[in-house]
A and B are shown apart, each in its own frame.
Chain A
């Protein structure tokens, strides 16, 4: 190996979103007990049933242990040192009333909130720290019967929908982090598509952690009634801080007969500096239920941020002939660690699932793919195709793969392909010999490696994802 390849890895390119914006914020002192949960619930003006749900989650959480099976290392999290509620003090009702400081912050983030939203045809819900600050395009969507609003608003305006579906995919006591979220979640997004409605635009949420020592616990719930379809994208950024920040979100998707939900994530939380100081701890539970026949749920994620990623967007394929998909690009550079993958649970007949996972490790990054394909006894004719590729850049990173298969029906057809490769000196030399710089050569190889996944993103976001991967790899070579 050449000198370049041995020194490979070094500083990550500057994190573009690392600024802290001075917003007027209301926040709770650190610590978590019943009073905190009651405060949050009261603050949101929630009905009793939701408060009870939160309290039961808190009680369960207190009895639970933080999971230790994941292949990541970090110092214990002091849950008593985290503030569980922070919100910009000015609560807006419409775009015109949004605190101009918030608008400027999102402008700096490159999020299209106003005219740019109109041009891009993207409806945006923006969540700062814990509270949804604005939802664009609400009226246009409402004309079609589509509900797209903050979670808090959904609880006020559509309590029957929230009550019917909340926790039906990820129960309040599902796991340690999901239970924590259920107890203290303060906002998030809610989407409801009535039967037969195809959402005419991409729906999008941008999450932002702004305040120091604050956890972000948002909750997203998307319900697509029979024949409905929607494509939804979330993006995330956070300021650069020396301390770690906790993000424990929950996303639940429900697709009824013939409904389609496509959920894309571009996750760019602050990854920490190159020595591994700071960065977001991203412990997220995402799960979709294909409840109806012929329904389809597709997860696409591009994970470049966070110090630690713990995330397994999964599909429960309950309806007959339902389809689950998981397309993932995860990149770890410097000291980042990711343990990510998916679960495909085949319950219905002739259910199909596809898993395409592309893991890229550079620097001292550690990357684990963890996947489960489970075929239950009654899931005759189930099919899964898994493709799991790892790409290593430099000698100090690692890639690990834990594919679990649990097939209890003899008619299942499961395929698994896997590869691990290193960016070859010969590949780099070939491209450089043609005039490309070493960095351009690396990003070209990496983008080629990710192509299958980028192709499954909505086009405008594929471009963004490609750039993000390039930026995240800056300094990985040379």
Chain B
């Protein structure tokens, strides 16, 4: 997935966001847009991490709560909350996050593989840990997040 074609220039462009007190990041190419949390229509028969469906310019898009999916501390949406609309090529879906920070460029060297220690987020969803100054970013793999969601729904 890493764009290594440009050799030394192999930097990751990431969108940073906060979730349950930790800072996460995801490849900017997977983020279709960031929007305010609209009215979400609940969908029956779904596990509780599935918030429902929203309309994005005429398309019906599913919305998920990663806090609930990964058993993080729960928190009601507030004015800071945003929907991160992710496009993995195959699937289009949105996840609610506590707040969205800036976009950053991170050198591929500054990314370490996810450690073996137990983490809140399922390890399969983590592409690596990024070091940006004193900040530690948990870099998510959007495709793996979708797979984890599908497993949670019982589709995979």
The answer to whether A and B come from one shared complex is no
| Residues of chain A having any CB pair with chain B under 8 Å | none
